[in-house]
Structure 1
Amino acid sequence: MEVRILSKTDTDLKLHIGGETHSLLNLLKNELLTNECVDVATYDIKHVTIGDPILFVRTTDNHDPIEAVIEALENINNLCEEFKEAFNK
């Protein structure tokens, strides 16, 4: 996986996420949208077989979009750990 920041402002972030598909990006987008500080979270894959996803995040004033992505990834990681523990019981 390759992650590159394509553009960033105080409230907007555009990331290139190489080597990933709808599976990860849809999960990340949905988790971002549960954060009340996130106004917009969406992604685009120009070509399904050869294109890499571009994630776009817009936050409310005074909320860093990079921090929102990090928080969403931590929440996803915690969810996976909870599932793993429940599965192993």
Structure 2
Amino acid sequence: MELRVIDKTDEQLRLEIAGEDHTFMNVLKGSLLETPGVAAATYDVNPEQSGGQTEPILTLKTESGVDPLDALADAAGRVQEMTTAFRDAFEAAL
């Protein structure tokens, strides 16, 4: 996974997340939308970028005073917690 910041302001972040698809992006977007201070989170797959590759672009908007990088870090941490909990439950079920 490669990340490339396209644009960042105090309350907005646009980030290319190379090598991912709808599966990961939907999970990340869902976690972002549950993050306090996040006003909007969406992604788009644009085939005109990177020589025809379809790398997703995440767009994140936060409320005043909330740094979008902090919000993204919080959301990513929750995704990690969810996957760890799933793995533990799966191993316990075996």
**TM-score tier (shorter):** over 0.9
SS in 2 for 1:55: strand
Runs of 4 or more consecutive aligned structure 1 residues displaced over 2 Å after TM superposition? none
Letter in 1 for 2:3: V
* Counterpart position of 1:54: 57
Residue 2 of structure 1: CA displacement?
Answer: 0.9
* Counterpart position of 2:24: 24
Q: Which runs of 5+ in 1 are unaligned?
A: none
* 2:38 is aligned with 1:68: no
SS in 2 for 1:88: helix
Question: Which of the two has higher C-alpha Rg?
Answer: 2
The normalised TM-score by structure 1 is 0.94
RMSD of equivalent CA atoms: 1.2
Which of the two has greater helix per residue? 2
Aligned length: 88
Identity of aligned residues (%): 38
* 2:82 is aligned with 1:82: no
The normalised TM-score by structure 2 is 0.89
Residue 19 of structure 1: CA displacement?
Answer: 1.1
